[in-house]
Structure formats: C-alpha cells, structure tokens
Homo-oligomer: A and B are copies of this chain.
Amino acid sequence: MAENPLTKSNKQKLADFKVGVDNVIFSVDSQQNRLLVLLVKRQSQPFQNQWGLPGTLVRIGESLEDAAHRILAEKIMVNNLYLEQLYTFGGPKRDPREEIDSFGVRYLSVSYFALVRFDEAELISNTGLTCWHSISNLTDLAFDHHTILNYGYQRLRNKLEYSPIAFDVLPDVFTLNEIYQLYTTVLGENFSDYSNFRTRLLKLGFLADTGVKISRGAGRPASLYRFDAKAFAPLKDKPLVFI
C-alpha cells in the first residue's frame, strides 16, 4: 500500500470493495461416519434457491475473524471449534452482482475454515434452510463456493495429518477408536492400520489414560483418554505426523 489514494497522482481508478466472509464449516458425524459441511439455501438473487456456504459481509469496525465467528454464531450453537483463515478469492466477475446492480463495487471473499463438534452443534434455525450436507453427495453451489469448499476440504485433510485439531472437536474424554473413526471418515478407509495409528498416537505422549473404561455393547471395554495440553505444549511447533 505504497500509494495514497487521496493524492490523485495515480491515473488508474481504484476499485471499491465490499468484503464478504464465507465459512467452510466441517463436522464429523461419528455415528454414521459421514463428513459434513454446513450449507445454507440462498433466499435472494443471485443464485436464489441454490445452496451455498454460509457467509456475511463485513461490518464497520468488525474484524474478518469476528465476522467469521458471527456467521457461525448465527447458524449454530457450539462451544468447541477450530477456526482459521483459508484463502481470499477476489477476482473481478466472481460475483454477478458486480455487473448488474452494484455501481462498480467489487465483492471479495475471505474464506474461513472451521471444524466443529457434531453432537454439540445445534442448528439455530429449523426451517431446513441451513443444514448439514454430506461431502460425498453435493449439489451445485452458488458463486465459486465449490472451489472454496474443495480448498477447505484439502486443508482439513492436511490439518488432520499435521496438527491436533481433532482434539478441539472430540469430547473431553474419548476412546482411541473414536479418534480413529474421525480420521477414517475424513481421510478415507485406508489411511492407516488401526494398530499402527494407535501406537504412533500414544508414543507422542500427549494422550493421558484416565483409567476409566467404557463399554459399547459387545466387546472389551475401551479406555477413555484425555488430551493433555501440558504434555502437548512442547510439541506445539514441532512437525507432527498422525498419518
């Protein structure tokens, strides 16, 4: 931003922008082993009645991340989540409104990626206009939202492999199988052998066995583990591999 727009030295006209924030909100339904993304049905033009990512335009005095949290809060109630910025999509013509009714205003989308705990996330509206969609079964989306969603899906898979975001979204205590299920649902069936996954994870040393056992129907009861933030701290900036 070397140039000051108020000195009229530059001949080219600057674009005026409205900035939107679009969220790719993922959740994992462990019961049905489905990876879900939250979509809303658009009520107005353009792309009326098509599904799209939940988004909003940034208000005066509001930071991008605040806007991302606001969207989330408007759609679902959730206590535990992971949120980070994804990418900024900003070419001209990505929003048809730029041409028809906008007096030259450009729409830029800063996308955010979120992972929320499924069994805790309660949809605020029950009109069916906001709901979870399985990632494996998607319709066409409004705008360039399919591109954004794919970008987010890619990021989700990378994050799972290299950082402990899963624990932001698991209950306080959980079995090792629950983690494994989560990983399998996101990364696919053959991402790793359960026994090796288990060994690798425990060797990292930040999962504490609570000693409590839990029985799910038949079979040997599983140990409940807890994520030990203190033990994890020294690993924070080290490269982790959960593969």
Contacts and interface: CB of A to CB of B under 8 A. Distances in A.
B110 A13 contact: no
Interface in A14-73: 14-20, 22, 40, 42-45, 52, 54-65
Contacts of A5: 18, 57
B91 A1 contact: no
B12 A54 contact: no
Contacts of A54: 2
Interface stretch (A82-90, A170-178, A187-195, A201-209): A82-90
A101 interface: yes
B92 A3 contact: no
A175 to B, nearest CB: 29
A16 B17 contact: yes
A4 B85 CA distance: 23
B61 A15 contact: yes
Contact of A58 (B14, B87, B110): B14
B108 A4 contact: no
A44 B91 contact: no
Given A16-B16, A17-B17, A58-B90, 14 more contacts: A2-B40, A2-B43, A2-B52, A2-B56, A4-B45, A4-B97, A6-B101, A14-B60, A15-B18, A15-B60, A15-B61, A15-B62, A60-B106, A85-B87
Interface of A: 1-7, 12-20, 22, 40, 42-45, 52, 54-65, 85, 87-88, 90-92, 95, 97, 101-102, 104, 106-110, 143
11 contacts: A1-B55, A1-B107, A2-B40, A2-B43, A2-B54, A13-B60, A15-B18, A15-B61, A17-B108, A64-B90, A90-B110
Closest CB pairs A-B (n = 9): A1-B20, A17-B17, A63-B91, A1-B55, A64-B90, A88-B88, A12-B59, A15-B60, A14-B57
